[in-house]
Amino acid sequence: MSSTSSAPPWDVHRLPRAEGSVFLVTGGNAGIGYFIAEQLAATGATVVLGSRDPARAEAALASIRSRVPDARVRAVRLDLADLSSLSTVAQSLEVSALDAVVHNAGVALDDPPRRETGDGHELMFGTNHLGHFALTGRLMPLLAAAPAARVVTVGSFAAKSERLDLDDLQSRRNYLPKRAYGRSKLAQMHFGLELDRRLRALGSPVASLVVHPGGALDSLTPPRPPVHARSLGTKLRAAPAALLLQGKHAGAWPAVRAVLDPGTHGGQLWGPRHFGLRGTPRQEAVWSHLADSGVAARLWDASRALTDVDPGDL
């Protein structure tokens, strides 16, 4: 663990206060992103939900406000599948500094056919990875203006069994949706670690960490109507899965700790304690294939060419 012996044990239910901080959570209107935003809002920080759907964002804001007295939350329009739209995101935040961005939003397709963004990129790779890659570049001046900002990339346990095909990042050959999703999340995680290597080389105060939520299921997630509803029948049927998996509220814990805990550091990987699937957050050893800096550097160069943005260009 990275926390010092003098620090109190991390308690997911007793988070440190963060008044005066500003955090952006992409995809903060639903799923794990919603619970990241709700938990961060409870610290007194200003939390901005990045969402492409204004109606769903408003529902999420109302839900957070109903559970967190005096919550400082608002939303900005954010479409990671539209790279040109990201150039105005930093200005829309209306802040002079950003203390953390949590790269959580994502698209997951279960069935063919292969789909593309308006920019012509495979939808999951283009949204999950390229969108966050470009967004980081747009936000870097605000992150660099904070005393010790953090970029927290939410990966996936599904990426553990995947490997990138650097000659087919867009999955044009033999497209399999689940594989393409896992590879898009692996690309995100490679980016998060490579970003930290480049920030350290530049002496930047910004740190980049990677987290994953383990096995987080809707059926084990507490209700947050109208953002998330769960029937009694669904809860009972899901009970056996709770032995190995968890709800999305718990899947949020590694990201929340990566944002708030001063004992965490750039270049680290955090996930659930038990088998990487459930439980309180702990630091994990970086997966062996994820530690390949050569692959990460090639991915970075390809991503920079595809987005015309370089997040490491301070």
Active-site amino acid positions: 181
Contact in structure between 152 and 102 (CB atoms under 8 Å): yes
Contacts of 91 (CB under 8 A, 6+ apart): none
Distance CA 98, CA 93 (A): 9
Distance CA 243, CA 154 (A): 23
Structure tokens at 225: 């109507």
Query: Residue 235: in which H helix or E strand, if any?
Result: helix 232-238
**In 138-239, beta strands by DSSP E:** 150-154, 207-211, 216-217
Phi, psi of 140 (to 5 degrees): -60, -35
Phi, psi of 162 (to 5 degrees): -105, 160
Contact in structure between 15 and 260 (CB atoms under 8 Å): yes
Contact in structure between 119 and 82 (CB atoms under 8 Å): yes
Rounded (5°) CA angle 57-191-251: 45
Bridge partners of 47, per DSSP, are 23, 73
Distance CA 277, CA 150 (A): 24
Residue with tokens 């718990």: 250
Phi, psi of 76 (to 5 degrees): -130, 150
Query: Distance of alpha carbon 190 from its chain centroid, rounded?
Result: 13
